[in-house]
């Protein structure tokens, strides 16, 4: 039978002690897995293709091999936690349930009254993490100073709540001229209608008008036209209610909504926010104009017509509308893969903290490219190593690697690379410059996603014990581990830290004070661990 | 606001400058009215582009240039593992050379890589103004290649000459001002292997008061010098190695310290951490700047008339000041050192000038002329006049050249002259019109933005109006001809009628249903056997229709074929044994004829001479002489053994027309027939001799031509007298057609306008034409005859006509006269 474990902690494999075992992993025997919301859902199985969610392969993220037969996979969070998903793993069929995971909030436009729900708060955190990652794209215009600016933003309290290059900002800049043009001369069609027209204005008679005409009493045309001297004919009326204008109306309404949501509720606005605000107003007035002209709103599922596809202005509107509609999808994806985005954010945080250490000089840093479209929670393209920093005061070199191992073609026992089974996405190798003999040691960083962001103290102790004692059992693997850092999302306005032996624990926020403090704490922890690591 | 970036890529110190803040910046965007501040984006020194795999999408390769590439570990060395492999790193310097010189390297796509270098510095922008070196090797094609490499979706790329950018910045900074107007300024740019020199003259813009723009007269100059940047870098490398003599350079990544020492103002004295091949770390100490004294020597040059020199170099501060001093001494002029970002800033200024419709500089375009025929004279007509100075912010639209597009012509050939080189342009096919059409050739060119666009359009002719023809420069090949030679080629040439030759077909040799195969027959043929001889004669004479394979419209379904063509050549693919047998038999027959010519022997029948004369050009030489003799004897009423049999004279005279192909005998035969043209069959033979052999045009001397023309005219008038328009007419027409073959040697022979013979023939033909039209009811195939006469009239007029007229005449002759002589 295919073996299936549900892991709470990525180091569950080496943590074999009876007392902790119950907390770190669970062997799935029946047909159900229950996940709780205080950890990322890691599923360990010996099925070669991994879990198949709702009949789809490739919907879970490969984390690495934990032993000679089994691999670990990260599952996405459900947008609606009440809905159970079915997993096919090998020949087994498992129902995946979520105990205390909130639902993703429906729309980001809805203004919450009173205390925000857990789901809204979580979504808020997700968005802030995304905003941090998004800053890479904003700063890319001057790549020479990318890391400095990133560090400046994160530690300088300049970290915004909302991304500066949000789609609506782009559109506010690009779409204005187009909306002005379309407002001046929206496309119109001339519709043929029947109307009683004065004889002099008649240009066309169709069958219906002729039938009408011959039924009129009188012999001459003048007699038939009656005392008002009008007969039925074809009139052409301007009509604006075309598909492209309906889409334009739908777009302006949506853009107005998104713009309202983007602009924060405070008096002093930044220029970008002002831009979005005035764009929102422009959209509102255009929407009103269109409604006055008798345009109705298009449904999101309309098929584009020729004008929408080929008229440059209307096509831009069409594309922009699609992108705004896609926001919902982006947020859903963000929600599903928030655990992975957290990994990525923590990797950047480690680099930022390292470079903040006095005397730190970057020897090499990986190119950072912001993806337009995420890949299972990953927003940045990076290379390994993510960065190499020389701490000149301590004369230490720290090499940060971020990323999961590539999935091997075949699963064989002998070739598991160092530390892969510990499932730490961020690894820091440290050593001294010029010391050709010193062995390089590694600090493992586990970004540990959690809903509430709390960390029971006893687990810190367990982790420390694991790092200190367990290496004897798995000598080959842990011989050179200099320490471990667990980073979990901060739940409140402070960053907490705890350290026992070489195991450190830290809560880190995605913006504001918890971010600044967290980075500061992370820096301190890194200095200590690196110094210790470089000792022997 | 339109986001604009000035880009100065040279691979030594790449820079970009934008005048709008980037997206992440908090700077206010909408401060209209103020002079926008410039934001400098430093691309780093010794720019590179790296390539790496995206971890998520395993098959795609990503490229990264600029500072991120310099900072990355990619391609640094083996110590970094797989990612450090050196072939992942490409220097921008090399890429620029590859793109500009079109040096193709299969291993990498220079365009894509260079684009990555530019992208890194120009994100979040709508338009890039990129500098391009200005020297004579940078032609229009180089510009196009660079634009193509830099262009990406949603981005406009405009090129700007590097010296122009420098001068624009100098004007903005007040270094150059009103005092320098109409004065030349020399711009010296320090490059990899030396210097680029360009002299620009400052001009006051007529259209915009108070604005100064440089005027560019010609391409700049490239001077190779020892103290080019690569030479200096080598010196810096040596100094570093000398200072760290115990450092194992080979076992580490390449050090960037030499580059920093030479070019970096700030970080030149920082310790560098290098990774060794086994993955560990080492430290390397930099050379203090005071300890490095590069050799800066400048070659002696003609520094021109300019009083002011602007120097642009990426060297670090002490060295660039040193270079300035050296340059001042060498040139004896006032040298102004420009800042590193001058070119990129100048590019932004140019971009904003273009945006507001102000010329950023004045360019002198290269003269482009079209060689055309106007009023029967070949003249060059300028598309771009010589010395035309144009504002570079707008497209230059030349005055259109109007031409006539000949009727029923699918393509036209033009000769273009650009930069003293002639190029031949054959236009793409169009549906031809029935009449001559007026077309306009127009040139448009954006200065320094690649090649000019030349188009042919028409106001009235629908086909060209809706789909103008555009010139594709890449298809033009330079022609190595002088103007006179081209003029000679362009003059319209009268049509030359093609000679006639029969079609030999293999079917005669291999046989078919109802067609006896020649091959087996000839292999067993005995010329001593008279029935074989008769059979051979018949086979040589016979014609056989074969389905026509040509797919031209109106082509006849069948074509007539023979065993041998008029040159005596067999068809392709004949069994060589059979051919040898034929030659053997013919040789035997030839011998028999010559033997029999002995007055003691004589001939009893025509069989032998029939075979010999129907073998066309294959007839043995001896027999040709004998036949010539016999015909001579016949005309002079003398005896000849060959003339003994009945009806032999007709056979021999016609035969003479068939067998003679070599020039010497041809002349003799023609003269003989001319002298006796009134005698029976002479004209027929003459017609064959004029229309068939290859050598005919060579032997058509002025005398002979004149003589033949008179005969042809005379025979036409004879026909008019007799009102007979049968065979004789065809012979006369064939004479005229054959005469026109003399155009093969001198193309303008027998043209109505310059030849009395042609005029007389024309008159005679016109009369015949009238007569036939009048009596068309009594004449066989009048339409065909009229058509052929029309064709000849056209040929004589020199305005066109059918080159295949002789073939048509020959066919008519064949149809009406079975040639059973």
pLDDT in tens, A21-30: 566 677 777 7
- Is residue A52 within 8 Å of A88, Cβ to Cβ? yes
Q: Report in angstroms the alpha-carbon separations of B600 from B530, B589, B597, B641, B648.
A: 21, 18, 8, 9, 19
**Collapsed DSSP state (helix, strand, coil) of residue B664:** helix
Please tell me the distance from the alpha carbon of residue A21 to that of residue A470, in angstroms, as a whole number.
13
**CB-CB under 8 Å, A431 with B23:** no
At B418 the pLDDT is 82
Please tell me the distance from the alpha carbon of residue A65 to that of residue A73, in angstroms, as a whole number.
9
A324: left (phi over 0), alpha (psi -120 to 50) or beta: alpha
CA distance B38 to chain A (A): 13
In chain A, whose CA is at the least distance from the CA of B60? A381
User: Of B191 and B644, which is predicted with more confidence?
Assistant: B191
pLDDT band at B427 (very low <50, low <70, confident <90, very high): confident
User: Of B604 and A323, which is predicted with more confidence?
Assistant: A323
The continuous run of DSSP H or E covering A402 comes out as strand A396-402
Tokens describing residue B474: 């890449």
Please tell me the distance from the alpha carbon of residue B140 to that of residue A35, in angstroms, as a whole number.
67
Tokens describing residue A374: 């995420």
pLDDT of B107 higher than 60: no
Select the residue of B22, B26, B83 nearest A141 (Cβ to Cβ).
B22
Q: What average pLDDT does range A457-484 have in this prediction?
A: 65
pLDDT of B26 higher than 60: no
At B17 the pLDDT is 92
Determine phi and psi for A504, rounding to 5 degrees.
-120, 150
pLDDT of B151 higher than 50: yes
pLDDT in tens, B550-589: 666 666 778 888 888 888 888 888 888 888 888 888 888 8
CA distance B204 to chain A (A): 35
**CB-CB under 8 Å, B71 with A365:** yes
In sequence order, what are the beta bridge partners of A362? A389
At B6 the pLDDT is 92
Tokens describing residue B196: 């680029």
Q: What average pLDDT does range B141-168 have in this prediction?
A: 88
Q: Report in angstroms the alpha-carbon separations of B96 from B91, B104, B106, B149.
A: 9, 12, 16, 10
Kindly report the average pLDDT of chain A as a whole number: 81
- Is residue B1 within 8 Å of B302, Cβ to Cβ? no
Residue B9, class by beta-carbon neighbours within 10 Å (0-12 exposed, 13-18 middle, 19+ buried)? Answer: buried
- The upper half-sphere exposure of residue B634, i.e. CA atoms within 13 Å in the direction of its Cβ, equals 28
Tokens describing residue A238: 């301007």
pLDDT of A13 higher than 70: no
Tokens describing residue B685: 């033979």
- Is residue B581 within 8 Å of B533, Cβ to Cβ? no
CB of A362 within 8 Å of a chain B CB? The answer is yes
At B160 the pLDDT is 92
- Is residue B40 within 8 Å of B17, Cβ to Cβ? yes
CB of B2 within 8 Å of a chain A CB? The answer is no
CB of B61 within 8 Å of a chain A CB? The answer is no
CB atoms within 10 A of CB A445: 30
pLDDT of B676 higher than 60: yes
**Collapsed DSSP state (helix, strand, coil) of residue B116:** helix
pLDDT in tens, B258-288: 888 888 887 777 888 888 888 888 888 888 8
**CB-CB under 8 Å, A362 with B71:** yes
DSSP B432: P
CA distance A397 to chain B (A): 8
Select the residue of B25, B42, B73 nearest A364 (Cβ to Cβ).
B73
Kindly report the average pLDDT of chain B as a whole number: 84
Which residue of B277, B281, B284, B344 to mutate against A (max A Cβ within 10 Å)? Answer: B281
Q: What average pLDDT does range A306-312 have in this prediction?
A: 88
At B809 the pLDDT is 81
Please tell me the distance from the alpha carbon of residue A54 to that of residue B24, in angstroms, as a whole number.
40
In chain A, whose CA is at the least distance from the CA of B23? A138
At A212 the pLDDT is 92
* Strands of A503-508's sheet in order across: A360-365, A387-391, A396-402, A426-432, A441-447, A481-489, A503-508, A497-500
List chain A residues with CB under 8 Å of B74: 367, 383
- The upper half-sphere exposure of residue B812, i.e. CA atoms within 13 Å in the direction of its Cβ, equals 26
pLDDT band at B30 (very low <50, low <70, confident <90, very high): very low
User: Of B172 and B104, which is predicted with more confidence?
Assistant: B172
**CB-CB under 8 Å, B281 with A431:** yes
Which residue of A74, A134, A135, A144 to mutate against B (max B Cβ within 10 Å)? Answer: A144
pLDDT in tens, B645-661: 888 888 888 888 888 88
Please tell me the distance from the alpha carbon of residue B215 to that of residue B362, in angstroms, as a whole number.
4
User: Of A138 and B253, which is predicted with more confidence?
Assistant: B253
List chain B residues with CB under 8 Å of A275: 29-30
Helix ranges, B423-517 (H): 462-466, 483-490, 507-510
CB of B246 within 8 Å of a chain A CB? The answer is no
DSSP B433: P
The whole model's pTM is what?
0.70
At A413 the pLDDT is 55
Q: What average pLDDT does range B195-211 have in this prediction?
A: 87
Tokens describing residue A50: 């991994």
Select the residue of B41, B72, B124 nearest A383 (Cβ to Cβ).
B72
List chain B residues with CB under 8 Å of A363: 273
pLDDT in tens, B331-373: 888 899 999 999 999 999 999 888 888 889 988 888 888 888 7
CB of A365 within 8 Å of a chain B CB? The answer is yes
CB of B41 within 8 Å of a chain A CB? The answer is yes
CB of A165 within 8 Å of a chain B CB? The answer is yes
Please tell me the distance from the alpha carbon of residue B814 to that of residue B805, in angstroms, as a whole number.
14
At B820 the pLDDT is 41
CA distance B304 to chain A (A): 40
pLDDT in tens, B443-483: 888 888 888 888 888 888 888 888 888 888 877 878 887 87
In chain A, whose CA is at the least distance from the CA of B83? A384
User: What is the end-to-end Cα distance of chain A in Å, rounded?
Assistant: 46
CB of B271 within 8 Å of a chain A CB? The answer is yes
pLDDT band at B161 (very low <50, low <70, confident <90, very high): very high
pLDDT in tens, A234-248: 988 888 888 989 999
Select the residue of B22, B83, B281 nearest A142 (Cβ to Cβ).
B22
User: Of A112 and A301, which is predicted with more confidence?
Assistant: A301
CA distance B457 to chain A (A): 27
* A25-27 vs A85-89, strand pairing mode: unpaired
The continuous run of DSSP H or E covering B163 comes out as helix B162-173
pLDDT in tens, B590-642: 888 888 887 777 777 888 888 888 888 888 888 888 888 888 888 888 888 88
Helix ranges, A103-198 (H): 118-139, 146-155, 167-174, 176-184
User: Of A28 and A161, which is predicted with more confidence?
Assistant: A28
Please tell me the distance from the alpha carbon of residue B61 to that of residue B59, in angstroms, as a whole number.
7
A150 preceded by a cis bond (ω within 30 of 0):
no
Please tell me the distance from the alpha carbon of residue B324 to that of residue B315, in angstroms, as a whole number.
11
CB of A393 within 8 Å of a chain B CB? The answer is no
pLDDT in tens, A114-148: 667 788 888 888 888 888 888 888 787 777 788 88
In chain B, whose CA is at the least distance from the CA of A177? B1
List chain B residues with CB under 8 Å of A169: 23
* A42-45 vs A52-53, strand pairing mode: unpaired
List chain B residues with CB under 8 Å of A143: 41, 66-68, 120-121
In chain B, whose CA is at the least distance from the CA of A144? B67
Q: What share of chain A in percent tops pLDDT 90?
A: 7
At A15 the pLDDT is 55
Surface of A (267-286) touching B: CB under 8 A: 270-272, 275
**Collapsed DSSP state (helix, strand, coil) of residue A526:** helix
- The upper half-sphere exposure of residue B186, i.e. CA atoms within 13 Å in the direction of its Cβ, equals 22
CA distance B174 to chain A (A): 28
Residue A396, class by beta-carbon neighbours within 10 Å (0-12 exposed, 13-18 middle, 19+ buried)? Answer: buried
At B312 the pLDDT is 92
Select the residue of A139, A375, A435 nearest B24 (Cβ to Cβ).
A139
Q: What share of chain B in percent tops pLDDT 90?
A: 8
The continuous run of DSSP H or E covering B520 comes out as helix B518-523
In chain A, whose CA is at the least distance from the CA of B58? A406
Orientation angle between helical segments A167-174 and A271-292, nearest 10 degrees: 70
pLDDT of B819 higher than 50: no
- Is residue B593 within 8 Å of B615, Cβ to Cβ? no
CB atoms within 10 A of CB B33: 4
User: Of A12 and B19, which is predicted with more confidence?
Assistant: B19
In chain B, whose CA is at the least distance from the CA of A433? B281
pLDDT band at A162 (very low <50, low <70, confident <90, very high): low
**CB-CB under 8 Å, A403 with B71:** no
**C-alpha R_g of chain B:** 41
- The upper half-sphere exposure of residue A499, i.e. CA atoms within 13 Å in the direction of its Cβ, equals 14
For residues A77-103, one letter each, b for 16 or more C-beta atoms within 10 angstroms of the residue's C-beta and e for the rest, the string is bbeebeeebebbbbebebebbbeebbb
pLDDT band at A165 (very low <50, low <70, confident <90, very high): low
Cβ-proximal residues to A246 (8 Å cutoff; 6+ apart), any chain: A295, A296, A297, A298, A302
């Amino acid at each position: 039978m295919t073996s299936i474990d549900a892991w709470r902690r990525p180091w569950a494999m080496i943590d074999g002690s009876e007392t902790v075992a119950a907390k770190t992993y669970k062997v799935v025997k029946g047909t159900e897995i229950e996940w709780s919301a205080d950890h990322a859902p890691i599923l360990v199985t010996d099925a070669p293709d991994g879990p198949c969610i709702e009949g789809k392969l490739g919907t879970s993220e490969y984390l690495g091999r934990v032993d000679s037969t089994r691999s670990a996979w990260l599952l996405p969070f459900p947008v609606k936690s009440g809905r159970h998903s079915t997993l096919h793993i090998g020949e087994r069929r498992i129902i995946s349930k979520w105990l205390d995971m909130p639902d993703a909030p429906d729309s980001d436009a809805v203004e919450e009254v009173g205390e925000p729900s857990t789901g809204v708060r979580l979504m808020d955190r997700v968005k802030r993490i995304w905003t941090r990652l998004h800053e890479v794209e904003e700063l890319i215009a001057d790549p020479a100073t990318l890391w400095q600016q990133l560090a400046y933003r994160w530690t300088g309290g300049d970290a915004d709540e909302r991304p500066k290059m949000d789609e609506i900002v782009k559109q506010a800049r690009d779409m204005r001229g187009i909306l002005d043009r379309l407002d001046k001369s929206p496309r119109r069609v001339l519709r043929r209608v029947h109307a009683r027209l004065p004889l002099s204005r008649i240009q066309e008679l169709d069958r219906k008008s002729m039938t009408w005409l011959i039924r009129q009493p009188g012999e001459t045309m003048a007699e038939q036209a009656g005392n008002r001297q009008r007969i039925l004919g074809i009139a052409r009326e301007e009509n604006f209610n075309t598909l492209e204008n309906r889409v334009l109306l739908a777009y302006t309404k949506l853009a107005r909504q998104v713009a309202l949501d983007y602009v924060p509720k405070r008096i002093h606005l930044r220029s970008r926010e002002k831009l979005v605000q005035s764009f929102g107003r422009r959209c509102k007035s255009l929407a009103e104009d269109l409604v006055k002209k008798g345009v109705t709103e298009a449904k999101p599922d309309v098929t584009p017509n020729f004008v929408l596809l080929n008229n440059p202005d209307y096509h831009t509107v069409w594309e922009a509308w699609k992108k705004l509609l896609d926001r919902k999808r982006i947020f859903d994806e963000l929600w599903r893969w928030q655990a992975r985005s957290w990994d990525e954010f923590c990797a950047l945080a480690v680099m930022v903290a390292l470079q903040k250490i006095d005397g730190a000089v970057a020897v090499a840093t990986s190119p950072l490219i912001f993806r337009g479209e995420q890949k299972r929670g990953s927003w940045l393209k990076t290379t390994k190593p993510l960065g190499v920093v020389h701490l000149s005061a301590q004369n230490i070199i720290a090499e940060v690697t971020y990323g999961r191992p590539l999935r091997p073609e075949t699963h064989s026992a002998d070739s598991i690379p160092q530390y892969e089974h510990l499932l730490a996405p961020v690894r820091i190798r440290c050593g001294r410059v010029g010391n050709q003999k010193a062995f390089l040691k590694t600090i493992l960083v586990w970004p540990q996603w959690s809903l509430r962001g709390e960390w029971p103290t006893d687990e810190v102790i367990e982790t420390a014990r694991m790092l200190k004692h367990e290496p004897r059992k798995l000598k080959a693997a842990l011989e050179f581990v200099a320490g471990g850092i667990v980073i979990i999302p901060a739940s409140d306005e402070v960053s907490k830290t705890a350290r026992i032996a070489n195991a450190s624990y830290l809560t880190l926020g995605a913006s504001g004070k918890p971010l600044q403090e967290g980075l500061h704490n992370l820096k301190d922890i890194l200095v200590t661990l690196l110094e210790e690591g470089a000792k022997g | 606001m339109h986001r604009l970036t000035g880009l100065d890529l040279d691979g030594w110190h790449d820079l970009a400058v934008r005048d709008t803040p980037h997206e992440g910046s908090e700077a206010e965007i909408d401060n209209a009215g103020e002079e926008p501040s410039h934001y400098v984006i430093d691309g780093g020194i010794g720019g590179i582009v790296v390539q790496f795999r995206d971890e998520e999408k395993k098959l795609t390769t990503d490229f990264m240039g600029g500072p991120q590439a310099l900072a990355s570990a990619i391609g640094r060395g083996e110590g970094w593992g797989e990612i450090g492999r050196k072939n992942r790193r490409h220097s921008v310097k090399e890429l620029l050379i590859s793109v500009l010189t079109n040096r193709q390297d299969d291993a990498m796509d220079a365009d894509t890589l260079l684009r990555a270098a530019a992208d890194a510095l120009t994100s979040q922008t709508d338009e890039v103004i990129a500098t391009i070196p200005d020297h004579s090797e940078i032609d229009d094609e180089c510009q196009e290649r660079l634009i193509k490499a830099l262009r990406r979706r949603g981005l406009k790329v405009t090129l700007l000459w590097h010296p122009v950018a420098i001068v624009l910045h100098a004007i903005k900074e007040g270094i150059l001002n009103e005092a320098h107007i109409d004065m030349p300024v020399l711009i010296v740019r320090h490059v990899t292997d030396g210097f680029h020199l360009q002299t620009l003259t400052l001009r006051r813009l007529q259209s915009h008061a108070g604005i100064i723009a440089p005027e560019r007269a010609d391409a700049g100059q490239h001077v190779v010098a020892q103290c080019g940047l690569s030479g200096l870098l080598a010196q810096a490398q040596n100094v570093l190695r000398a200072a760290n003599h115990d450092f194992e350079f080979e076992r580490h990544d390449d050090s960037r310290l030499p580059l920093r020492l030479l070019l970096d103002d700030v970080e030149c004295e920082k310790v560098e951490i290098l990774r060794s091949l086994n993955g560990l770390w080492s430290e390397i100490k930099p050379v203090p700047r005071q300890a490095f004294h590069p050799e800066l020597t400048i070659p002696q040059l003609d520094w021109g008339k300019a009083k002011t020199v602007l120097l642009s170099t990426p060297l670090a501060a002490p060295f660039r000041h040193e270079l300035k001093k050296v340059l001042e001494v060498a040139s004896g002029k006032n040298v102004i050192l420009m800042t590193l970002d001058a070119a990129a800033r100048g590019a932004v200024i140019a971009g904003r000038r273009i945006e507001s419709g102000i010329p950023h500089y004045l360019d002198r375009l290269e003269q482009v002329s079209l060689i055309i025929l106007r009023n029967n004279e070949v003249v060059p007509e300028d598309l771009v006049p010589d010395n035309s100075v144009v504002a570079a912010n707008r497209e230059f639209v030349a005055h259109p050249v109007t031409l006539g597009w000949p009727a029923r012509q699918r393509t036209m050939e033009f000769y273009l002259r650009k930069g003293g080189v002639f190029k031949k342009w054959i236009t793409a096919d169009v549906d031809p019109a029935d009449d001559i059409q007026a077309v306009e050739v127009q040139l448009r060119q954006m200065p320094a933005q690649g090649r000019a666009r030349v188009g042919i359009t028409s106001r009235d002719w629908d086909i060209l109006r809706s789909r103008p023809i555009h010139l594709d420069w890449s298809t033009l090949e330079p022609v190595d001809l002088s103007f006179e030679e081209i003029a000679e080629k362009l003059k319209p040439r009268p049509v030359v009628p093609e000679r006639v030759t029969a079609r030999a077909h293999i079917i005669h040799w291999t046989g078919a249903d109802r067609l006896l195969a020649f091959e087996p027959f000839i292999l067993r043929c005995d010329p001593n056997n008279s029935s074989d001889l008769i059979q051979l004669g018949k086979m040589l004479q016979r014609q056989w229709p074969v389905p026509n394979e040509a797919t031209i419209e109106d082509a006849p379904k069948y074509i007539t074929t023979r065993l041998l063509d008029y040159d005596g050549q067999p068809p392709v693919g004949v069994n060589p044994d059979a051919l040898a047998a034929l030659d053997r038999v013919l040789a035997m027959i030839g011998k028999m004829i010559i033997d029999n010519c002995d007055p003691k022997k004589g001939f009893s029948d025509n069989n032998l001479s029939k075979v010999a004369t129907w073998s066309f050009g294959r007839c043995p030489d001896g027999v040709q002489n004998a036949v010539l003799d016999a015909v001579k004897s016949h005309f002079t009423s003398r005896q000849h053994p060959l003339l003994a049999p009945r009806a032999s004279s007709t056979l021999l005279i016609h035969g003479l027309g068939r067998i003679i192909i070599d020039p010497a005998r041809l002349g003799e035969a023609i003269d003989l027939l001319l002298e006796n043209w009134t005698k029976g069959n002479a004209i027929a033979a003459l017609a064959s001799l004029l229309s068939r052999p290859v050598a005919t045009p060579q032997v058509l001397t002025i005398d002979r031509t004149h003589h033949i023309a008179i005969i042809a005219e005379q025979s036409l008038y004879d026909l008019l007298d007799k009102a007979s328009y049968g065979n004789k007419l065809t012979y006369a027409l064939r004479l005229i057609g054959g005469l026109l073959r003399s155009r093969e040697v001198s193309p303008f022979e027998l043209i109505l306008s310059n030849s009395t013979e042609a005029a007389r023939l024309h008159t005679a033909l016109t009369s015949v034409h009238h007569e036939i039209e009048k009596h068309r009811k009594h004449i066989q195939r009048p339409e065909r005859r009229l058509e052929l006469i029309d064709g000849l009239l056209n040929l004589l007029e020199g305005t066109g006509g059918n080159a295949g007229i002789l073939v048509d005449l020959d066919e008519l002759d064949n149809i009406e006269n079975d040639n059973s002589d």
